[in-house]
Amino acid sequence: MYLDRYTGRGIHIAVVDSGVHAAHPHIVGATGQDASRGSLGGIIGGVGIHEDGSLDDDYVDRLGHGTAVTAAIREKAPEAQIIVVKIFWRALASGIATLVRGLEEACERGAHIISLSLGTGQTAHRDVLERVVVRAASRGILIVSALEDDGVRWLPGSLDGVVPVLLDWKCARDAYQIVDRVGRTAIAASGYPRDIPGVPPDRNLKGISFAVANATGFVARALEATPQASLTNLFETLKSEA
């Protein structure tokens, strides 16, 4: 596996999604209960954000998507610490205000990386998302998100200052490629999550969400290798290791 001498140690990753089921075997993994930090499966805290802007201590995943995304990240960065930001409650959909609040909460809660396996194709939201990206970048926080999928350019993944991700079905799950697309340097990664015993890959969750998750794990490794790296330096590390 690329960058396999790194594990994401010391890196805080905020997963903005449907929450996390912290006791799931793919989340707990080999590290189990971290007594020194009082965390289970690397989860060090989280928050739920409702559509009305109110905050909730409930960040348990009841849709499964956030857990699968986090599992893919932890597979590649098992010593990274996870901050859960739940913005999906009954379906994998949310308003722009909730997404922006989720990104802001991730920044305030000490994330070094924000993994965003979601986005919008609506250009009307460009300005508000661009402001959040600029604020995150000014604090050295990396947002990992989809650049495009099925011909749709996604926000915030297509904005300058974001680590853009592309889906590559031919890419192995333990690998990535650095590619140039529409004038951007991007990470191309597998769209498959961790395997579930007895479930064929084509019946499991899959898609650009998991390309972002897999890429996030590699970004965490690269950030451990080059702490406080700029986006340019991060890609230099990723390129040298690919």
Q: How far apart (Å, rounded) are the C-alpha atoms in residues 131 and 23?
A: 35
Query: Which pLDDT tens digit goes with each residue over 64-120?
Result: 999 999 999 999 999 999 999 999 999 999 999 999 999 999 999 999 999 999 899
Q: How many helices (H) and strands (E) does the chain have?
A: 6, 13
| Residue 192, pLDDT score | 94
| Residue 76, pLDDT score | 95
| Residue 161, pLDDT score | 95
**Closest residue by Cα to residue 98 from 154, 212, 18, 209:** 18
Structure tokens at 47: 């928050």
Count the domains in the chain: 1
158 within a domain of the structure (yes/no): yes
| Residue 236, pLDDT score | 94
> Which residue is associated with the tokens 């690329």?
2
Q: State the 10-residue block means of pLDDT for the chain, 242 residues long.
A: 89 97 82 47 92 94 95 95 97 94 96 95 96 96 95 94 97 95 92 79 83 98 94 94 85
1 within a domain of the structure (yes/no): no
| Residue 35, pLDDT score | 36
Q: How far apart (Å, rounded) are the C-alpha atoms in residues 172 and 203?
A: 18
| Residue 34, pLDDT score | 45
175 within a domain of the structure (yes/no): yes
137 within a domain of the structure (yes/no): yes
| Residue 39, pLDDT score | 61
| Residue 233, pLDDT score | 93
Structure tokens at 121: 């194709």
Is there a cis peptide before residue 156, judged by omega within 30 degrees of 0?
A: yes
72 within a domain of the structure (yes/no): yes
179 within a domain of the structure (yes/no): yes
5 within a domain of the structure (yes/no): no
CB 74 within 8 A of CB 67: no
4 within a domain of the structure (yes/no): no
Q: How far apart (Å, rounded) are the C-alpha atoms in residues 158 and 116?
A: 12
Q: How far apart (Å, rounded) are the C-alpha atoms in residues 28 and 34?
A: 10
Q: How far is CA 47 from CA 66, 77, 148, 212, in A?
A: 13, 22, 28, 21
CATH number reported for the structural domain that contains residue 70 in this entry: 3.40.50.200
Query: Rounded to 5 degrees, what are φ and ψ at 75?
Result: -60, -40
Domain that holds residue 182: 12-241
